[in-house]
Amino acid sequence: MDSGLVSVGLPAALAIIMFGLGLALTLGDFGRVARTPRAVGVALAAQLLVLPAVCFGLVLALDLDPLLAVGMMLLAASPGGTTANLFSHLFRGDVALNITLTAVNSLVAVVSLPLVVNFAVGWFDPPGADDIGLQLGKTAQVFAIVLVPVALGMAVRRASPAFAARADKPVRIASAVVLALVIAGALVGERENLADYLADIGVATTLFCALSLGLGYLLPRLARTTERQALASAFEVGIHNSTLAIAVALSVLDNDTLAVPAAVYGVLMFPLALLAGWLLTRHREDHPDDAHP
């Protein structure tokens, strides 16, 4: 991987994305947890507990290369992002719930992501395992790249809501552009092994994304949440912040192979999320009372 992309471009890209997330958040988004505890609780349980377990079973069943297996677990531990909010808006999910889940997930991921990655490193024991684990210093880097830009974005919105509103669209566009560049850069960095990796990881990432979207919808429905809340959960649980996973793999853990699952997933998640949204809402007109809380 090009050292300039890793040392400058990638942190800058993630900072833009997380700053844009902060522009969309207020302290009230965290307080909304108390008003929708069931929907938030089920979605967080799916994100933090069910998905890592599902991903772990998946990589064992597919007998992935140890480094790719750890990369998959890193992806599973990454929180949702602003893309989930966009899909929820597109398919008329509960976007307010998405924003709340993104806010809480971003905080919790500072603790949960290192725990999942360290477990995966210990279990799969990839080459260079001693350099891959997220020790205290590296965990502090995760804290910095996740929360500092979000906090700055929230501070800007609090100080100048009008500016935050004007900046929202340009930052979203910039986020989409840098996400594409980051994914392309991660794939190019492993171009010599890309064909082999795609053969191994393409099936894994497709299954993982499909299972994430399906469980993200099914579990809230079983818990008797509204359809709009279940749709919000499906996109929040099913669409991970692949840029964060790539940034941790390259900038924090300094390993190109670990970034491959997130990069491949970052390409596949868009068509899969669109397909899931269409499948989950195609009969909505037949059930108008259930579509709205």
179-216 b/e (C-beta count within 10 Å ≥ 16 → b)? beebbebbbebbeeebeebeebbeebbeebbebbbbbb
31-44 b/e (C-beta count within 10 Å ≥ 16 → b)? ebbeebeebbebbb
Mean pLDDT, range 181-194, rounded to an integer? 64
Angular region, 34: left φ>0, alpha ψ -120 to 50, beta rest:
alpha
Domain 11-277 of CATH type 3.20.20.70: no
Specify the pLDDT at position 2. 45
Tell which wins on pLDDT, 131 or 257.
257
Mean pLDDT, range 173-182, rounded to an integer? 68
Asked whether 10 and 42 are in contact (CB, 8 A), the reply is no
As a whole-number percent, the residues of the chain with pLDDT over 70 amount to 72
Tell which wins on pLDDT, 179 or 288.
179
**Contacts with 217 (C-beta within 8 Å, 6 or more apart), sequence order:** 230, 231, 233, 234, 276, 280
Q: Residue 206 above 50 pLDDT?
A: yes
Asked whether 14 and 181 are in contact (CB, 8 A), the reply is no
SS3 assignment, position 215: helix
Q: Residue 286 above 50 pLDDT?
A: no
Mean pLDDT of the chain: 78
Q: Cα separation of 98 and 279, whole Å?
A: 20
The two tokens of residue 258 are 């670990």
Top mean pLDDT of 6-15, 164-173, 181-190, 271-280 is at 271-280
Q: Residue 138 above 60 pLDDT?
A: no
Q: Tens digit of pLDDT for each residue in 224-269?
A: 888 888 998 999 898 888 877 887 787 777 777 888 898 888 778 8
Q: Residue 8 above 90 pLDDT?
A: no
The structure's pTM equals 0.75
Q: Cα separation of 108 and 49, whole Å?
A: 12
Q: Cα separation of 249 and 258, whole Å?
A: 5
Partnered with residue 80 across adjacent β-strands are: 240
Q: Tens digit of pLDDT for each residue in 28-54?
A: 666 666 677 888 889 999 989 999 999
Q: Tens digit of pLDDT for each residue in 71-119?
A: 999 999 888 766 787 788 778 888 778 778 877 887 788 788 888 888 8
Specify the pLDDT at position 234. 92
Asked whether 117 and 133 are in contact (CB, 8 A), the reply is yes
Q: Cα separation of 78 and 62, whole Å?
A: 21
Give the pLDDT band of residue 219 (cuts 50, 70, 90). very high
Give the pLDDT band of residue 129 (cuts 50, 70, 90). low
Q: Residue 293 above 70 pLDDT?
A: no
Top mean pLDDT of 46-60, 172-186, 275-289 is at 46-60
The two tokens of residue 188 are 């190019």
Q: Residue 139 above 60 pLDDT?
A: no
Question: Which residue in 233, 268, 188 sits closest to 84, CA to CA?
Answer: 233
Dihedral (CA of 213, 103, 21, 142) sign: negative
Q: Residue 1 above 70 pLDDT?
A: no
Give the pLDDT band of residue 210 (cuts 50, 70, 90). very high
Domain boundaries defined on the chain? 11-277
